[in-house]
Amino acid sequence: MFRALLVDKTDDAGYHCKLTELDEAQLPASGDVTVRVAWSTINYKDGLAITGKAPVVRSFPLVPGIDLAGTVTESAHPRWKPGDRVLLNGFGVGESHWGGLAQMARVKGDWLVALPEGLSEREAMAIGTAGYTAMLCVMALQRHWETAGVAPGSGEVLVTGAGGGVGGVAIALLAAMGHQVVASTGRPDEGDYLQGLGAREVMDRSALSAPGKPLQKERWIGVVDSVGSHTLANACASTRYGGAVAACGLAQGMDFPSSVAPFILRGVTLYGIDSVMAPLARREAAWQRLATDLDRSRLNAMTKELGLAEALAAAPAILAGRVRGRLVVNVNA
């Protein structure tokens, strides 16, 4: 038997998630690798899966948790053997396939990434999908800047949703590369925290969240946006000539009320960042870089540790934007 969170629907179409005990025989037969999970996380999407606030869960009953890190106990997959230390995020795990908020998981070996040298399971999950997505954003901007000949420190880089998980890791990574990071937040009282992660300046998100002009004063050489909607539109409108915006999130909204002006008049490039189906080579590159480039003291500063039962209570909080940084879940606590 093992402990797990389980999402299910009741006969009267009600939706619930509870902490329960499951039998290993109940693990999905479709997987070819069994993992003893050590750590998982709570991301924004896990908040949606646990509360049912948006239909991210595609089959019932389902163990939520889009991230996991642990040790292989059984494998019918050629790449993996018992004892291998692995991590997993995306590929519909925690949405249509049983996920990581449990002590055991059975998954497809094709989805697993070897835990990079020098990264513990806890650190990998403190980073989680949010941090890995931040790295995908940073890698897209870096490729752009290298092609355009833009040097770190030659201009300001905007990070929106700065108080959240993607935002926190993006700030720490960009600051370590020598960039002048401006953090946009709705929590100005978290200014010391954001500067501790490496932000040079903290701005109130209200300056970006209302409808704005199609072209605004040029300010950013690059943007990491986890917020979408008017914030993304204003970020594009104030990006400097030839700059780039990496869009990965929708915390303000899924809409994009923009115009083509920044793209056709200033040559701004908008990169769409998807973490879920990113190819294995890009995942491995992102995780390797996280293992070497992310300052551990900054990661610790943005991480709060929870047990499985506390993870349930954290789900509404992350949807309400009340979680600072990252939540890592010790599934054995």
Out of 97, 205, 266, 298, which residue is the one contacting ligand NDP (CB under 6 A)? 205
Residue 273 near ligand NDP by CB under 6 A: yes
171: which DSSP letter?
Answer: H
State CA 128 to chain mean position distance. 6
46-68 in b/e form (b: 16+ CB < 10 A) is bbbbbbbeeebbeeeebbbbbbb
Q: Would you count residue 226 as binding ligand NDP (CB under 6 A)? A: yes
61 cis-preceded (ω within 30 degrees of 0): yes
> Measured from the CB of residue 278, what is the shortest distance to ligand NDP in angstroms?
8
Packing angle, helices 44-51 and 308-319, rounded to 10: 100
Among the residue ranges 25-33, 106-114, 238-246, 318-326, the one whose residues contact ligand NDP (CB under 6 A) = 318-326
Answer for which of 64, 94, 99, 165 binds ligand NDP (CB under 6 A) is 165
Tell which one of 140, 318, 329, 331 touches ligand NDP (CB under 6 A): 318
Q: How far apart are CA 114 and CA 86, in angstroms?
A: 5
x-marked contacts with ligand NDP along 78-117 as a string, rule CB under 6 A? ----------------------------------------
Q: Which of 249, 258, 308, 312 binds ligand NDP (CB under 6 A)?
A: 249
Tokens 């924004």 correspond to: 44
Angle CA 220–299–127, to nearest 5? 85
321 near ligand NDP, judged by CB under 6 A: yes
Cβ closest to ligand NDP, residue 8 vs residue 201: 201
3-state secondary structure of 329: strand
Say how many C-beta atoms besides its own lie within 10 A of residue 164's C-beta: 28
Answer for which of 135, 157, 311, 323 binds ligand NDP (CB under 6 A) is 323
* Sites of contact with ligand NDP (CB under 6 A): 43-45, 129-130, 133, 161-167, 185-187, 205, 209, 226-227, 231, 248-252, 273-276, 318, 321, 323
